[in-house]
Structure formats: structure tokens, C-alpha cells
Structure 1
């Protein structure tokens, strides 16, 4: 006896699931400028690689004879797929089914999606487009009682953060549990004008007397500047590209080493423009991002969190094909001074690099922690010390390159001073416990006030101190390991990357380009 009737029934149920919330709701999704959940998965993963799990899970409607009339599928779609040939768990909320609300989902499907990632040690991508976990207050009448809040499967969310790379793409309004799932990630994105994120939406917020709309309450302009979300992009397609690229720098799981790629950029390349990059005038700025582009493998710099904690640049990049985590000062914002947000950003990034075993390159131009009343009100010193603690706790190899300033406690957070210092400085290096420009008047106050010509005496002191602030004086006493020609920066950092990855146990021949390539 054949099982063809059951196979035909399976085919029919799959077809019903592919209709998602139905033609009208799918069309409404498209009319809002949004892709549907299945199109999103196709746009994210390698073509033809997606194998869906639990496709026919949902709520069936049956006639009097027990025959299936229709199927409302679960509003979470997930399965196994590839990104650049490497396996991942890809998931997407289906907003066309009850607005992506969890009360229209099947909880076990959510749990299994999360559990699959850490159980099989493969990255997880969540494409989130939905509301909270409890559904409408109307569900209370259906249930007949209220309930104590809990999120089934959240333990798996936490385990994923400890074991595999997690990427979250907010692709529409995300509130409550949806917002929490965005934040519970290593890298998160919003689409400008399309995505919003909030603990509770405008209608709920209005109940406490704060009229608002979705964009003003939780648009990307808010959350990419307060550190809740890492990045805003212009389109869903760009979000998919950035998610794929983020994963390319990381291993599939904690305990595995990230892949090296073939590089056609010579490790011994010396950029002539570097020798003139830093101005002699201390108050003039320069482009640290231009420096990154000149030093790391061509086209390999991938910055994250550009709009928040702006005194520090955090990025992944490659050196001779090896992936590294890059922390760099940005002298164009607050002179590179670490304030509370920047310190928080540094702490998070160093922990991410250490968790996934990426060597760190720190390019330093830090005049210290931000000072003043606002900085004190923001708790800058607490966040700054936490960032410094993260640097000291990190166990991956770290190389620091002092480009210009390194002052105070923030300057000393460039590396762990109690370990071997893989460190270089440019001739523009300028360091100490306090910048001379701001400290002379304090240290020599009585002497200056007693002088016949205070201004001339101040100038004489300044000239005297400038003679001993030369970085070469520090090198004489081995207070700095090496001062280098700025044009040697890339070759020396490529050498560091090779040694660092050997120390981590990588095959030094992995990913090398063919001779003469």
C-alpha cells in the first residue's frame, strides 16, 4: 500500500505554509517597503542552501469530518543554511501572521531555533519584525486568567551569547520581547526609517502622558547613538550584506579559530603618506580612519558602532589575511578623550574580541578621560575603569601603537602593563600623567605668580619641559619599547598578526595566496 496520499498531504501543507499570512497581508507587508520573511531568508543566505525546520507547524482549521481546510503557519521561520559556505541557523519573524506576536507563535519552535545554534555550534541570525511576548490584552479573556511573566527558551538565548556569534537584524517595529531579542546579540542592525525598537510602543507610552510616534520614540537615529544597536543601514539588502561580512571575521563558535583568507595586499607595503599624517600642531586633528585604510589589508576594515561612543573606533580588519579586532582613537571627536559612552563601547568590544579569540590592535591617541561636570555626572571614571579592566582581563595577544597622545589612566588602558608589551610608538608620541599644556599652571602656580613677568616665566618653563618630553628621551630609558618610522606600521603589524595567530594555535600556512598571485 502506497503512502502517496500522505506525501500529497505533506505537499499541500507546505504550500499552505508558504502563503504565510495570506496574499492580502503579504501584499500589505510589501506595500510598506518591507520584504516578507521568506524573501529575507533568501536575501541573506547562500542561494539554495536553506533547509527549513518545522515548516508545517501552525494552527490548522478542520471541517466537521476532521479534514484540513486551512493552515495558519507559525510566525517564526527558521532552519539550517550557509553563509559563504559555512553553516548557520537563519531565522525570520513573519509579520504577516499576527504582526509577529509571540502569542501567535509556537513556543517550542522558538526554543528549538535558539537551541540549535549552541547545540551544533553554528552562528545564529535573527531577523526580527514583531511585537512583544504576551500578545494583546485581549488574550486574557481567551486564557481566563493573567499570568506571571516568563520567556520560555531565554536560557538558550543566554547560552548562545556565550557560545556562538549572534546577529540580530531589526527589520520593522520591534517591541517588548522582539526588542529584547535584538539587543541580545553580538551585532545588531536597524534599517533607517523602516525599523523601530522600544520597550513599549507609542500607544502604550501615550498612557503615561508622552504622545509620540514610532520613529520619534524608537527610530534608528536614537538607538544607534545610545549604543542599544550597533548600526543603521539604508536598506534590508545592505543589512544582509553587513551581517554576512560581520560573520566572516569570526569563528563559528567559541573555542574554534576564525578563518584566515588569502590576501593579495603585500605584508611589507609601506605607505608614504603615513609620515605626514599627524600634524605637528597638537590641536590639529587628522583622520584615524584614513590611517586604518592605509595600514590594514585593502578593503578589509569593517567598522561597528560608528555613531555612538565616538571617541573610539571599533572595527574588524585583516593583516596579511589574518582577522584582528581594531580599537583606535578618533581625535576628531572630543580630541579622542574617553567619556562614559566611549568607555562602555571599548569594554564591550574588547570582551567580544577576547571571547572569539581575535588578536587586538590598539591605535592610541588618547588625551585621557573626559573631564568636567558633565563627565562626572555621567560616571565617566566608573565606565573608564571597567574598560581598563576588560583590557587587563583579555587573554588574546594585543599590540598597541601610540600614534600621538597617551595620558593619564585612560592612556594607560592601551594595554596590560603587567604582561609583555608588544608596543610601538610613532615619533609624534606624546605621553604622561597629565598633558603639559594643562599641567604647567597647576604645578608651577606659585613660581609663576612670584615672577616679575609671569607670562615670560611660563614660556620659559614650557620650553624647558618640551626639551624632555621628546619620545626619544622615553626610549632611552626603555619606557617605550620601540619608536618607528610610521611607514613601517603595516609590516610590523603584519608580523604581530602572524606571531599572535601562531600563539593562538593557528596554522601559519592557512589562507596564504599562491606565490606570485
Structure 2
């Protein structure tokens, strides 16, 4: 006697699971420009590597003889898979069944995927597309319930394993939380939205209609709110961005970041760096070009490029080793620190510190942005929080001052405790305030009594005097900056520092005392 009939039963039930919400529901999903959860997982995972958990779960119906008629699958698909050869845990919402609602599924499934990732110390990828709760389920449940999202567990996991989330369609309520509570999040332009409550809820509360895009589209969340890090042009683009993010991350805080083979010489010199900073102080330049020239070729992956745009945050490699990179972008607010840029920088520092990525900071900081709007946004507090994040970090840190370093935000160039390693290019200038503007304030009484032409000549004389005092070479004479370097030597010097940093990183493996900030 064998168990062949039961084996056939397994195959039959699995076939029901593969049908998702049925042909019509799948067709609607495709008509709306979105793939199904299984199609997404197939593109995310290495071919043939997805090992599914709970494929038999769902709501079954039986005939009068207790024979199985059909099964409506649970609207969560979970399991483990390889992504570029490394094991991850995946939890995906199936929108073809009750809109992927968290209350219309067997909630233990997606929670199981998260707990599995945590216990097995592997990255977690969420494929999110969920309509949130539904009042239609109240009759089935027999009562309402006190809200009890497992946020304590979701937040705590951030300190242990890398978490990436893809918002692939409408994400409301718990779906929004799952998309936002991640180290890296991405949403698809035009087809995904993230919100606490959807348009019907908002219309009821606010008394006016609003469409999904205006409420929670990618323009809102990747440019204005900062809820989601990156925008993707297509679902395939979102999947590739998640893969790339994970390639820089260790599997957990107990492991070192992955090193890849690199044929880019560590001592490569780029002549372009010698003149990339204009002598005219009011002229701007492309800070991202500096990163392209110094980092391993093709290795720069930017995080949150559309939010807090006066600061650039990205993952990159030096000699095949992952690093976190920060740079000011003078094309936005002159590179000054806004509240949004401060939040972005603070979160990025915490992620790098949690997962043992040394930080390189290319500094051109004119200071904290001023004005009534900046004060209403609490920009000063943003500067304080960035300084706090830096000082609480333990990962190796190196700053390269390439142009300006002024004011409160200027103190956020590196960790001032310990050795505070920093270098300067000859174009660097620093101080409490810039000479221009500062001179007029300090010598206001003297300048006020002069005729316009004499005032202009005297102002130039004073600025020339103080311009000499601002020379980085005077600071170097007092060893207040460890070295002034040829910009073309930047890659060589940073790789040499990273050789030392990589030796001490293993001592920092493990869980940090505090939870990461997003």
C-alpha cells in the first residue's frame, strides 16, 4: 500500500495555488499594467531557486462526500530563494485575491516569512500590493478587533537583517507600513501608490475626492514625503534595484559586507579631478561626477535621489569593498543642509553603521539653510540629529573636504571623537561663516560711512586679508587637517584607508544597542 493518492492530492492543491485568484482576476491585474505576485517572484529569484512555504493554505470547499472541490489560495505567497546566489526570505501579496488585503489572508503566512528571515539571519524582501483592511470581512470574523500590527517586531528586525520592500501596486494601511518599514524601498511610477487610507477613506474624512496618484503616487513619496526611497520606471526596474541594493549588504549584522572581484586599479588617477572644482566660488559643478571618478567604475547606486536633493547618499565599492558615500550637491540649495536632506543623511548613516559599511563623505557644506521656511521646518534640529547619528556611529569614517565647510551643518562632516580622519583638497575653505557676508557684518559700522566706490574698494581689501587667513594650508600647518591632497590621488588614499578599516570591521559584527532610525 502506498500514499500515491495523497501525493496526487498534493499536486491538485498546488495547482489551485498556481491559479491565484483565477483567470479573470489575473487578466485584470495585467490590464492594469501590473504583474502577479508569482510572476514577480520568478523575476526576483534565481531560476528554479524559489522554495515555497504554505502553498496548500487557503479556503477549501468540499462536496457532500467530503471530497475537495476547490481551494481559494491564501493571498500571501512566501518562501526562500536565491538572489544572485545568496539565500533570502520573500513575502509577497497576491492582489488578485481580495486586493491582497491583510485581513483576507492567513496572516501567519507573511509573519512566518519575516520571522524565518530573522531567525535564519538572511535578508528579507517584501513584494507589497495590499488594499489593507475591509469592512466586508467583519461578518465573516464575527467582530471587530483592536488594531495590532506587529510593528514592534518589524521595527526591531531592522537592527538585524537587511530589509528591502517593493511597492508594486496600491499599498494601504498595513501594506503602506510594510513598504515603508525597510532599509530600502522602491515604488513603480504610475502603477503603485502608498497611503495610510485610500481615496474613499480620504473623501469621507475630508469631504472632497482625490485620485490614487495625487494621494500617494511616486511623485509624492520619492520627492516630497521621503516615505519611499527610489522610483522605478517599471516593475522590472524595481526588481533590479532591490537586487542591486542587496548586493552591497551582508546577510545579517553578524556577517561582513560581501566583497566582489575588482579589476579597477586602486591607484587609478583621473586628471579630470584636478579642475572639477571651479575657482569661481559661485560656480557649481556635478558632484556625482566626482563619485564616478573616484569609486569603482559602475559601482555607484544612489539611495533616495529625488528627496533631500542637496545631499547625495549612495552605496558604492572601493577595490570591490562596499562603502556608504555621502556628498553635497551644490545644484540644490548650494548643497546646504535642509530638513529633508538631514533626515535622509541621518537614516543613511544608521543603515551603514548597522551593516558595517565604512562611510566616505565628500564635503562641500555651505551650512544649514536659513530663512523663515527653514525655521518652520526645524532645520536646526535636523542638523543636530545628523551630528548625533554621526557621533553615535562606530563604523570607520573618512571625510574629504572638497570645497566649503561652514556653520552648524559643517560640524557634521565626520565623527569628531576618536581619530576623526579627514583630508582636504586645495579648493577647501572652512570656518564658522563664509568670508563673504561675514566681513560685511563684522565691519558694518566702518563700511556704512564710506561713499559707494570707497566702500567697494575697502570691502575688497578686507576680504582679501581674510581670504588669506582662510587658506587650508594655514590649518594644515597646525595639523588641524591631517593632510591636503592632490584630488587625483583621492582614490589611492581612500583605498589605503579602507585597507585599514576593513581590518577592524570584524570586531564590530553583531547587534547594535539602539534601533535604526528611518
Q: State the match for 1:475 in structure 2.
A: 476
Q: How does 1:35-114 map to 2 (within 5 A)?
A: 35-114=35-114
Q: Matches of 1:322 and 1:370 in 2, distance apart? A: 34
Q: How does 1:294-443 map to 2 (within 5 A)?
A: 294-443=293-442
Q: Matches of 1:463 and 1:199 in 2, distance apart? A: 56
Spell out, residue by residue over 1:210-244, the C-alpha distance to the aligned partner (whole angstroms, 9 max, x if none): 31111111100000012100011111111111100
Q: How does 1:12-411 map to 2 (within 5 A)?
A: 12-132=12-132, 134-135=133-134, 137-151=135-149, 153-207=150-204, 208-225=206-223, 226-411=225-410
The structure 1 segments of at least 4 consecutive aligned residues displaced by more than 2 Å after TM superposition are 138-147, 153-156, 449-456
SS in 1 for 2:316: strand
Spell out, residue by residue over 1:145-172, the C-alpha distance to the aligned partner (whole angstroms, 9 max, x if none): 3222112x44432232121000000000
Q: Matches of 2:158 and 2:73 in 1, distance apart? A: 28
Q: Matches of 2:45 and 2:392 in 1, distance apart? A: 36
Distance apart, 1:455 and its partner CA: 2.5
Distance apart, 1:362 and its partner CA: 0.4
Alpha-carbon contact 1:118-1:159 (below 8 Å) kept? no
Alpha-carbon contact 2:58-2:73 (below 8 Å) kept? yes
Alpha-carbon contact 2:104-2:137 (below 8 Å) kept? no
Q: State the match for 2:515 in structure 1.
A: none
SS in 2 for 1:103: coil
Distance apart, 1:284 and its partner CA: 0.2
SS in 1 for 2:459: helix
Spell out, residue by residue over 1:112-157, the C-alpha distance to the aligned partner (whole angstroms, 9 max, x if none): 111001010000000111111x32x222333343222112x44432
Distance apart, 1:451 and its partner CA: 4.4
Calculate the TM-score normalised by the size of structure 2: 0.95
Spell out, residue by residue over 1:78-109, the C-alpha distance to the aligned partner (whole angstroms, 9 max, x if none): 10100111100012111011110112210211
Larger mean CA deviation between 153-162 and 52-61 belongs to 153-162
SS in 1 for 2:147: coil
Alpha-carbon contact 2:266-2:319 (below 8 Å) kept? yes
SS in 2 for 1:323: strand
SS in 1 for 2:103: helix
Larger mean CA deviation between 30-39 and 265-274 belongs to 30-39
Q: Matches of 1:44 and 1:482 in 2, distance apart? A: 46
Spell out, residue by residue over 1:418-463, the C-alpha distance to the aligned partner (whole angstroms, 9 max, x if none): 2202211000001000011121111111222244633222121111
Spell out, residue by residue over 1:269-318, the C-alpha distance to the aligned partner (whole angstroms, 9 max, x if none): 00001001000010000001000000000000000100001111000000
Alpha-carbon contact 1:122-1:252 (below 8 Å) kept? yes
SS in 2 for 1:138: helix
Spell out, residue by residue over 1:256-278, the C-alpha distance to the aligned partner (whole angstroms, 9 max, x if none): 11111110100010000100100
Distance apart, 1:61 and its partner CA: 0.6
Gaps of 5+ in 2: 508-518
Alpha-carbon contact 1:311-1:333 (below 8 Å) kept? yes
SS in 2 for 1:292: helix
Q: Matches of 2:141 and 2:84 in 1, distance apart? A: 45
Q: Matches of 1:215 and 1:64 in 2, distance apart? A: 48
Alpha-carbon contact 2:91-2:110 (below 8 Å) kept? no
Q: State the match for 2:511 in structure 1.
A: none
Alpha-carbon contact 1:322-1:498 (below 8 Å) kept? no
Q: Matches of 1:92 and 1:140 in 2, distance apart? A: 24
Q: Matches of 2:341 and 2:465 in 1, distance apart? A: 35
SS in 1 for 2:492: helix
Q: Matches of 2:456 and 2:140 in 1, distance apart? A: 81
Larger mean CA deviation between 141-150 and 106-115 belongs to 141-150
Figure out how many residues of one structure are paired with residues of the other and give that number.
503
SS in 2 for 1:224: helix
Calculate the TM-score normalised by the size of structure 1: 0.96
Gaps of 5+ in 1: 507-517
Spell out, residue by residue over 1:347-369, the C-alpha distance to the aligned partner (whole angstroms, 9 max, x if none): 10000100001100000000000
Distance apart, 1:332 and its partner CA: 0.9
Q: Matches of 2:426 and 2:153 in 1, distance apart? A: 50
Alpha-carbon contact 2:222-2:304 (below 8 Å) kept? yes
